[in-house]
Chains A and B, each alone.
Chain A
Amino acid sequence: MREGSGSAGNCRPTPVKTDGKAMRTDAENTHITLIKPASGWGTVDFRELVEYRDLFHFLAWRDIKILYAQTVLGFAWAVLNPAIHIIIFSVVFGKVAKVPTEGIPYVLFSTVAVIPWTYMSQAMTQSSQSLVQGQNMLGKIYFPRLIFPITPVLARLVDFGISMLILLGVSIYYHLEPTWNLVFFPLLVVMMMSVAAGVGMWLSAMAIRFRDVKFAMTFVIQLLMYSAPIVYSAASIPPQYRILYSLNPLVGVIEGFRACLLGLPMPWPYIWPGLFTTVVLLCSGAMYFKRMERVFVDVI
């Protein structure tokens, strides 16, 4: 199933062996593939993923292009989608329910949360369906299967970037100044992508066998949204539950983005437990995916 190392060629007597040197060059230049029954837990072959980087590029491009194909507004949807949520939340939770936001204007408060959330919910949903949607390809050609759930995680970053325009607009309106906290922005983006990738790997591998995942996804996304401090502030959680609460990696991501973009003190107590969960999610997701990988084609 996996690429073998060059040494694998030496186990077998090569009939044309003339001298040791010639044989070594032969083994070095030849790409050796070993096919054997997959068993146990596989490991991720990063070298192979790097070899297929161009495929990532074109699959992501396809995802981006076809999402807004034949729409009038095109990429404007990348802005409209979070913008509409921000407006709804600002009216319902800001004006009507008057959710406490520690003095931050509600529009600002929700903008910095809705933008990463929109990315995560879309990346997770698409990632979880990636294998099922790609099942035709799955049975026809080999390439590292991990490319399927990872592609939406990369592709949706473009929307994420575009939707930052809203933040720009809102920041100008509220005269928000950039602070040094912005240095943590890349870390939060990586964490946000990792969460989406971890969930995506778990759910896509499950969805290929149990199509129930598709139906459950609607509720999972809704549940996740209310589990994270998107419409409310994490400060409203009673202190004794804080550790438990912040094990949810979304909490760290959302609160982190909020602090990083609004220039508040970085909420590390929320981020560390979330980071721990993220790593666990990512590793276990990759392991589960690799384990299930060998039966994907047989259970479609």
Chain B
Amino acid sequence: MTDKVLAIKAENLSKCYRIGLKEALPDSLSGAFFEFLKSPLKNYRKFRSLYTFDDCDVEAEDLIWALKGVSFEVGRGEVVGIIGRNGAGKSTLLKVLSRITSPTSGAAEIRGRISSLLEVGTGFHHELTGRENVYLNGTILGMRKTEIDRKFDAIVGFSGIEKFIDTPVKRYSSGMMVRLAFSVAAHLEPEILMIDEVLAVGDLEFQKKCLNKMEDVGQEGRTVLFVSHNLPAVTRLCQRVILVDGGRIVEDGPPGAVVRKYLNAEQGGGAAQEWTDLGQAPGGPVVRLRAIRVRNVEGEVSEVVDIRSRFGIDIEYEVLQPDHQLLVRFGLRNENGDLIFVSFEQDLEWRDRPRPRGRYRSTAWVPGNLLAEGMHYLNCFISTIKPETNQVGEYSIVAFQVVDTLEGDSARGSVGRKIPGVIRPLLEWETRFEAI
């Protein structure tokens, strides 16, 4: 790293928030009355303590260290992804670096003009027209008026709402507003760009357009810090990934290795759902769902599955009324909402056979090198037949991410860019050659 020109150099950044202790509740009416009289003084002290850290006792119980001694360097032109679970400190790090809030201790030096995008459409006002909002939002993001004048046609063209540019945005659909807002953001030309999960907006068509734009930005030699949950996007766009947990940097390195580490550390979460209380479980008097789990090849519940390896889907259910034939199935949808396939329970032992009461667990193994990268959502149905009646019908009940760690042995081969397509099977290829 020493042979690079630095764009960002952070040294020992820490950020401490005081969350305030639980308020003591008075236990009597007279106590409540007395508390009420005292409350202005108490409130004053409370508000004051929110920002005074003179007594900043590191171990104080009402303090939260959102960042703790974070140091890293980013070279000019590097595209760095920051990943980590919710509350790990990713956003706080970005807020400190983009000067929205100041660190409690530590320092950072940033060389180059910064633009930060923690939200699209900051400052948009419903009463203003699209044109006025473009100018307002653009200047808020740090552009000059002359710069916006120059890019105005491109911005409007990118958003695709030329016809409505002089209409107040309150008449826009929310999708149109987001498109316009994103178009402004997409035309920022800072030397350093910091982005926080803003790609999770807008319709899918537009999201793709934005991701492509992001890819361009990265190739133009700009420095980009990219906080995201979208692991496929991070792996594809970034040359380097920083994993943050508990306010510290846990791992810093090439995307494949860091993403894998993150995935291993992630246990369960959105990849499993269980209903311990039968009354609350989805279903009816005949059958109720007890659990759904996504398991990786090692059999562990995992939100992330490697694109190359097979993974299992567990469906646990309880039959409450005997003598029904059941049709158990699940469907997978991708993040665009396309249904990829539906799979019916295929165990011959139970086919066309009335089931006794009891608890069942059906596991399906989905082969590796089948699904494409990205989020997948699982729907689960159980119905009785003759006539076919749905007993359980749950949509997007669990979600998991299919990830390509870019090690070269997946269907992607050595292709680095985003690959379209609903599935990505690894096919047998054969190329014959004849010299002419």
Q: Say yes or no: B109 contacts A37, CB within 8 Å.
A: no
CB-CB under 8 A from A210, the residues of chain B are 44, 47
Q: How far is the CB of A115 from chain B (nearest CB, A)?
A: 26
CB-CB under 8 A from B135, the residues of chain A are 58
Interface magnitude class on chain B:
35 or more
Given contacts A35-B102, A36-B102, contact A295 B5 (CB under 8 A): no
Bound Cα distance A138, B123 (Å): 10
Q: Say yes or no: B118 contacts A35, CB within 8 Å.
A: no
Given contacts A137-B140, A140-B122, contact A37 B102 (CB under 8 A): yes
CB-CB under 8 A from A30, the residues of chain B are 111-112
Say whether B17 faces chain A, with CB atoms less than 8 Å apart: yes
- Please report which residues of chain B, range 1-48, place their CB below 8 angstroms from some CB of chain A when the two chains form the complex: 2-5, 9-10, 13, 17, 44, 47
Say whether B116 faces chain A, with CB atoms less than 8 Å apart: yes
CB-CB under 8 A from A52, the residues of chain B are 139
Set A61, A209, A297, A299: member contacting B100, Cβ < 8 A: A297
Say whether B98 faces chain A, with CB atoms less than 8 Å apart: yes
Say whether B105 faces chain A, with CB atoms less than 8 Å apart: yes
Q: How far is the CB of A150 from chain B (nearest CB, A)?
A: 15
Say whether A80 faces chain B, with CB atoms less than 8 Å apart: no
Chain B, 103-121, contact with A by CB distance < 8 Å: what is the 0/1 string?
1111111111110101100
CB-CB under 8 A from A32, the residues of chain B are 109-111
Given contacts A35-B96, A141-B141, contact A61 B132 (CB under 8 A): yes
Set B4, B107, B123, B127: member contacting A15, Cβ < 8 A: B4
Closest A residue to B136 using CB positions: A58
Name, among A30, A65, A142, the residue most crowded by chain B CB atoms within 10 Å (CB to CB).
A142
- Please report which residues of chain A, range 131-166, place their CB below 8 angstroms from some CB of chain B when the two chains form the complex: 136-143
Chain A, 30-57, contact with B by CB distance < 8 Å: what is the 0/1 string?
1111111110000000000000101101
Say whether B353 faces chain A, with CB atoms less than 8 Å apart: no
Given contacts A58-B136, A299-B47, contact A36 B107 (CB under 8 A): yes
Bound Cα distance A160, B98 (Å): 37
Say whether B417 faces chain A, with CB atoms less than 8 Å apart: no
Given contacts A142-B116, A294-B51, 11 further A-B contacts (CB under 8 A): A31-B113, A32-B111, A34-B107, A35-B96, A35-B97, A57-B139, A57-B145, A62-B132, A65-B127, A141-B140, A142-B98
Which residues of A are at the interface with B, using a C-beta cutoff of 8 A? 1, 4, 8-9, 12, 14-16, 30-38, 52, 54-55, 57-59, 61-62, 65-66, 69-70, 136-143, 209-210, 294-295, 297-299
